[in-house]
Amino acid sequence: MRLLILLTFLLTFSSYAQDSFSSEDYNVSRNDLETNIFKKDTTANALVIYEYGNSYINKNTFFLNFEYKQKLKILKRDGFEKATIKIYLYNSNKKKEKVTDIYAETQNLVDGKVVRTKLNKDQIFTERYNANYTLVKFTMPNVQEGSVITYRYEMESPFIYKYKGWEFQDDIPKIHSEYHTSIPAIYEYNIKLVGQLPLSKNETGRKNRCVEGGNGTYADCFTADYVMNNIPAFVEEDYMTTRDNYLSKIDYELRIIRYFDGTVDNITKTWETADKELKTDENIGRQLNKNVASNVSIADSILSEPNLLKRAKGIYKYVQNNFTWNERYGIYNESSVKELTREKSGSVAEINILLHNLLEEYDIEVSPVLMSTRGNGLPTKIYPVISDFNYLIVQAKINNKTYLLDATDEYLSFGELPFRCLNQYGRKLDFKKGSEWIDIAPKKVSTIVYKAELSVNEDELIEGQLHASSSGYHAIPLKKAYFSNKQDYVNYFNEKNSNVEVIDHSTKTKEKSDFIFDENFEIEYLPETVGDNIYINPFIFNFFKENPFKLQERTYPIDFGYKDAYLYNLTLDLNDLYEVVEMPESKTFNLPNNTGQVNFISKTENNQVKIYLKINFSKAIYEQEYYSYLKDFMSNVVDIQNNSLIVIKKK
């Protein structure tokens, strides 16, 4: 009996040991080498077991020193890319960061023995990455499935204003990540914790006389210890802005330097100070005051239009159609507005400042708005960081209504911004009253509406008319495809819907910038027949072919960018030739707090089959708490479209 208990204990202990990693420190344990699966995320191809960082100001050089260590497990072959380490070193005005004391090794378990392979110095490569960064890169030797990689290095930086940030989260899971900082009291930083994951440890302290300034002057240091455990991999999915908005990390922005001689340098400005600087800036403020009406040739009928809204629309359309965006971003003019009127091509800032100036010259109340695109991240609201902004649009106020304008895309309607601009908020500049934050969100709902009127003839052929109407952001890609090549547009429709033949296609939409794209199809197709039964899929078009939400959980919001709605309405006339055998079941379901609805109605009436599906999203952005509900919601929507069948047979 005692032997049985002992054997049970040993088996249990062995099982536990095979499923545990040593995340307490940098040293590689036997368990680290023997354990080859991470149960909390069995899809992971690599895993950070332990990660350590330490930043402090060197008391002798006053440079920023950074120490880094990582212990990483390769779980699958797909994780081999994590064996290539990249260190980015910043340089500016002959000053540069440098990295020292790189030491790395790979450990493998071969026939029960630990085999260590060290990285040689000649396997470390340095190359120019871009104008401001040098890349130090090395690939770990002898990497296999099951390898444990350890590497460490030190970095020295003369750029105090670029205090080293820390990313807790990555695209692979981490068991333990810790970051230690020591900041002299003479430096004051704005410290921002980004992301939704909680810290396991957040402790601060004080270190006396950590730096000295000579003549008996000194400063204490404020220390901080940050720890995060059991960090899930950040997996990107549809309907999100840049990962930098949501990745769990710590960012630093130097705010104030208090020198030992008593002088103070305010690095981070107030918005009042930033507004004054922007006003006098040669490439923003001064360009906003340039008179350019004499450099363009807008029709007199537009400029003399008494209706302010029509006048503004005419000027907007002129800029849209006569100036080409060179796909360069930024808030500063690279050349003058007057030069743009000659070259006819320019950056976002140049085109929209031209629009701003023309509207203002012809009595439209306008303001420039600085913003950041979806791919650039959200600008901080805590203090002005002008480098956060990479885009400039125009706000126009006409007859007590507000319009946000961007003239870089000829397919946009008046008051419509490109999808890249739908990033929550921007900073409206007003050099008299002061700048302020404004919301950036479409006022109109984008829609897709299909109305099909079909009939089944005696040869079992389904034929009839399909009217499609798309508005807002759903219309833009369709307009671009149609007006680029009309025949290719129809051919693409036929290829995408191989069972449906388009007999004729027409559209009422004449202008590229129309908000709505209306089209009519004359179609026919043969349904599937099995025995006496005819099986008809009522959905000629699918709004969603598959569920875009596949993660078990999502730690960041679901950002559609805009509110939208979908409507499908089918009337199928059986011509008194057929009878219904089976109809899909009607369904209705909602998202929590009535923030989304699906209404599916299936019925027969006067020898006609009628199908009605409406999907509505009443929010542009859903918090991550909605994710499981949205996942189920979309699963039901896809199921309705893919598995709803009408079964009929001849009378």
Q: What is the rounded distance in angstroms from the CA atom of residue 620 to the CA atom of residue 618?
A: 7
Contact between 393 and 421 under an 8 Å Cβ cutoff? The reply is yes
In the predicted model, what is the mean pLDDT of residues 416-421? Answer: 98
Is-contact 501 524, C-beta < 8 A?
yes
Compute the distance between CA of residue 268 and CA of residue 256 in angstroms, rounded to an integer.
7
Q: Is the pLDDT of residue 66 over 50?
A: yes
Give me the pLDDT at residue 18, please: 40
What are all long-range contacts of 399-408, with beta carbons under 8 Å and residues at least 24 apart? 399/308, 399/309, 403/312, 404/369, 404/440, 405/316, 405/352, 405/355, 406/348, 406/352, 407/316, 407/319, 407/320, 407/323, 407/351, 407/352, 407/354, 407/355, 408/325, 408/348, 408/351, 408/352
Q: Angle, to 10 degrees, between the axis of helix 308-322 and the axis of helix 348-361?
A: 150
Judged by DSSP in three states, 555 sits in coil
Q: 88: which residues sit within 8 A by CB, 6+ positions away?
A: 129, 133, 134, 135, 136
Beta bridge partners of 534: 529, 648
Q: Is the model's pLDDT at 17 over the cut of 60?
A: no
Q: Which tokens in the block code for residue 236?
A: 């990107």
Q: Which residues of 185-331 form beta strands (DSSP E)?
A: 187-194, 201-214, 217-231, 249-258, 264-266, 324-325
How many Cα atoms are found within 13 Å in the side-chain-facing hemisphere of 546? 4
Region of residue 88 (left: phi > 0; alpha: psi -120 to 50; beta: else): beta
Q: Where are the alpha helices (DSSP H) in 281-424?
A: 300-303, 308-322, 337-343, 348-361
pLDDT at 19: 53
Q: What is the pTM of this model?
A: 0.87
| Distance from C-alpha of 20 to C-alpha of 28, rounded to nearest angstrom | 12
| Best-predicted range by mean pLDDT (159-163, 331-335, 393-397) | 393-397
**8: Cβ–Cβ under 8 A, 6 or more apart, which residues?**
none
Residue 77: both structure tokens together: 């072959």
User: For strand 46-57 and strand 174-184, is the pairing parallel, antiparallel, or unpaired?
Assistant: parallel
List Cα–Cα distances, 177 to 214, 369, 605, in angstroms. 37, 39, 64
For the segment 368-376, the average pLDDT, to the nearest whole number, is 97
**DSSP H or E stretch at residue 484:** helix 475-484
3-class DSSP assignment, residue 127: strand
Average pLDDT of the residues in 621-630: 96
* pLDDT at residue 344 greater than cutoff 90: yes
The pLDDT value given to residue 15: 36
| 280: its two tokens | 């006098």
Per residue in 96-142, pLDDT (tens digit) is 999 999 999 999 999 999 999 999 999 999 999 988 899 999 999 99
Measured CA to CA, the distance from residue 319 to residue 323 in angstroms comes to 6
Adjacent-strand bridge partners of 55: 66, 181
Nearest one of 48, 44, 41 to 21, comparing CA atoms: 48
Distance between CA 106 and CA 336 in Å, rounded? 56
Give me the domains of the chain, ranges plus CATH numbers. Answer: 22-265 (2.60.40.3140), 271-440 (3.10.620), 446-650 (no CATH)
Mark residue 98 as left, alpha or beta (left: phi above 0; alpha: psi -120 to 50; beta: remaining): beta
Q: Which residue has the tokens 């055998």?
A: 581
The C-alpha atoms of residue 506 and residue 490 are separated, in whole angstroms, by 10
For residue 3, is pLDDT > 70? no
C-alpha radius of gyration, the chain, whole number = 31
Helices (H) and strands (E) in the chain, counts: 10, 37
Tokens of 165: 């940030």
Question: Position of tokens 């680029």?
Answer: 484
Percent of the chain at pLDDT exceeding 70: 97
Cα 497 to Cα 387, 488, 648: the distances in Å are 47, 14, 22
Of 210, 344, 354, nearest to 290 by C-alpha is 354
Q: What is the DSSP letter of 234?
A: -
Distance between start and end Cα atoms, the chain: 78
- What average pLDDT does the chain have? 93
How confident is residue 163, by pLDDT bands cut at 50, 70 and 90? Answer: very high
Q: Does position 397 have pLDDT exceeding 80, yes or no?
A: yes
Cβ contacts of residue 449 below 8 Å, gap of 6+?
A: 468, 469, 470, 566, 567, 568, 569
Query: Could you report the per-residue pLDDT of 438-483, keeping only the tens digit for each?
Result: 999 999 999 999 999 999 999 999 999 999 999 999 999 999 999 9
